[in-house]
Amino acid sequence: MSISTPGGENRPGLVKVGGKPAAGAKPGTKTTTGGTGGKTPPKSGGPRKPITPIKVNQGRNWGPIAMFVAVGVIAVGIIGWGAWAAFKPGGAGYDWETRAGGISGINHVTTELKSNHTYNPEKYEQSPPVGGTHSYVWQQCMGNVYDAPIPNEHAVHSLEHGAVWITYRSDLPADQVAALAAKVEGKEMMLMSPVVNLDKSISLQAWSYQLKVDDASDSRIDDFIGALRVNATQEPGAVCSGGNTATGDKPLTEEQVAALQQQQQG
């Protein structure tokens, strides 16, 4: 015996929750519970108008951009200037001999300059001298600025150690003397003194090198010092302290040297 549902009863409404459509429902239709009779409720307010997006016109902030560009230009300029300064003829990018050879007007003595020691006065081919036989004692060259002539024999020994000796004529204006002194004072392997009857206003000496100029503002002075100080030496590592500090035109005698040595030891 089969049990059947009486024809007068209504089936409860079906709710679609996903998956396949409920039995008896047409594909693409929605079923709901309640009193709409299966019809989709009408939308209120009619069709919606599309919303036009609002464009915000934001101008560029040129301040940071301009600053960035300016910094870049300055950096490129600094790098370019440094490269030019280093690799120009005689620039710091070259070895010291090449730099010295690139200084206009420099005189390089290529003949042998003896490094013998003596207690006797010496005659030199160059004035002021740039090398040769010299005193056992060097002239102190720890940035010393002497206000009177010093013995050539002691100064040449300083050149042997790698010092640069700046000399000037006694009638050089005081402001130029001061400008030269500023290049010497407090700098090891540098000394300065006047020279009687100098044929140029200023003369610079290093071992086997000489440059004569007319004015203390001449840029070649700095080029000479930069290339030859310490480098033009016959005794690498030699010191400039503990030397003779006396002025005059005569080198120390053997007795005076012995007394100086005893004074330094005691």
Give the model's pLDDT for residue 47.
65
Is it the case that residue 49 has pLDDT exceeding 90?
no
Instruction: Write the single-letter amino acid at 243.
Output: G
Q: How far apart are CA 151 and CA 158, in angstroms?
A: 11
Helix axes 220-228, 174-184, angle to 10 degrees: 30
Q: Residues 116-155: pLDDT tens digits?
A: 999 999 999 999 999 999 999 999 999 999 999 999 999 9
Is there a contact between 148 and 193 (Cβ–Cβ < 8 Å)? yes
Q: How far apart are CA 117 and CA 157, in angstroms?
A: 9
In 3D space, the residue among 202, 192, 104, 100 whose CA is nearest the CA of residue 144 turns out to be: 192
Burial (CB count <10 Å: 0-12, 13-18, 19+), residue 113: buried
Is it the case that residue 266 has pLDDT exceeding 50?
yes
Is it the case that residue 26 has pLDDT exceeding 50?
yes
DSSP state of 147: S
Interval 147-164 mean pLDDT: 98
Q: How far apart are CA 159 and CA 141, in angstroms?
A: 9
Is it the case that residue 183 has pLDDT exceeding 90?
yes
Model pTM? 0.67
Q: What is the mean pLDDT of the chain?
A: 83
Kindly report which listed range (68-77, 144-153, 213-222, 256-265) carries the lowest average pLDDT score: 68-77
Is it the case that residue 182 has pLDDT exceeding 90?
yes
Our CA dihedral for 261, 243, 110, 96, rounded to 10 degrees, sits at 130
Is it the case that residue 210 has pLDDT exceeding 50?
yes
Instruction: Write the single-letter amino acid at 84.
Output: W
Q: How far apart are CA 62 and CA 64, in angstroms?
A: 6
